[in-house]
Amino acid sequence: MLTAVAAAVLAVSAISPAAGPAAEDAPPDYVTIEVVTVNGSGCPAGTAAVAAAPDRTAFTVTYSSFLAQAGGESDPTDFRKNCQLALELTYPQGFTFGIAQADYRGFAHLQQGATGVEQGNYYFQGTSPTARKQHSFGGPFSDNWQATDTTEWGSIVYAPCGERRLFNLNTELRVNAGSSRGTSFMVMDSTDSNVSTEYHFSWKRC
């Protein structure tokens, strides 16, 4: 199984990042992001990293231990893995941000009869979470996967102007063995920043 997972991580490195939507306003001069808390079976301590893109139009989250699996000799609790991150963003006064698009990427090996699901949402501290958008995959499947959540401009939720609130991300992978034989898995991890989950900013002036 370790060999299969290692091969999956190598295979996923071939994926090219998707182009994000244009920002509503020019991005600010600087953006820094700090991980405040990490919770979840998909991101043990030290296995999730966050970085802002140099052009401040997006930020990426890279996981190194985000694997859900079922069937074969898998532990019954491994079918579902999740990760919740609380992030603190720093940027110049006079700006606020929302998320216009999220691109999730990984690799899946699903036997005939097995299914896999990726879903995620996000929210600012003190506000309601966005709706969970679910993306399903069915076996037989053994390839890179990508899922994209987009938000119409009029529906983007922005951080309250003049307030610094933690930004929370919640992501989940699930694998159901169904009628399959053998092990099936979905992975969303890599040491290659090119395959990190990417969140595209929508900036606007307050």
Confidence of residue 188 (pLDDT cuts 50, 70, 90): confident
Distances from the Cα of 113 to the Cα of 4, 77, 147, 191, angstroms: 19, 19, 21, 30
Q: How far apart are CA 43 and CA 171, in angstroms?
A: 10
Number of domains in the chain: 1
Question: In what helix (H) or strand (E) does residue 173 lie, and over which residues does it extend?
Answer: strand 167-176
Question: In what helix (H) or strand (E) does residue 123 lie, and over which residues does it extend?
Answer: strand 115-124
Does residue 68 contact residue 78 with C-beta atoms inside 8 Å? yes
Question: Does the bond joining 28 to the residue before it have cis omega, within 30 degrees of 0?
Answer: no
What's the whole-model pTM score?
0.83
Confidence of residue 110 (pLDDT cuts 50, 70, 90): very high
Q: In the structure encoding, which two tokens stand for residue 56, read together?
A: 């401040």
Q: How far apart are CA 53 and CA 31, in angstroms?
A: 9
- Closest residue by Cα to residue 103 from 171, 7, 32, 30: 171
Looking at residue 82, its amino acid is N
pLDDT digits (tens, 9 = 90+) for 29-72: 999 999 999 999 999 988 999 999 999 999 999 998 999 999 99
> Given this model, what pLDDT does residue 24 score?
52
pLDDT digits (tens, 9 = 90+) for 81-93: 999 999 999 999 9
Domain that holds residue 122: 2-205
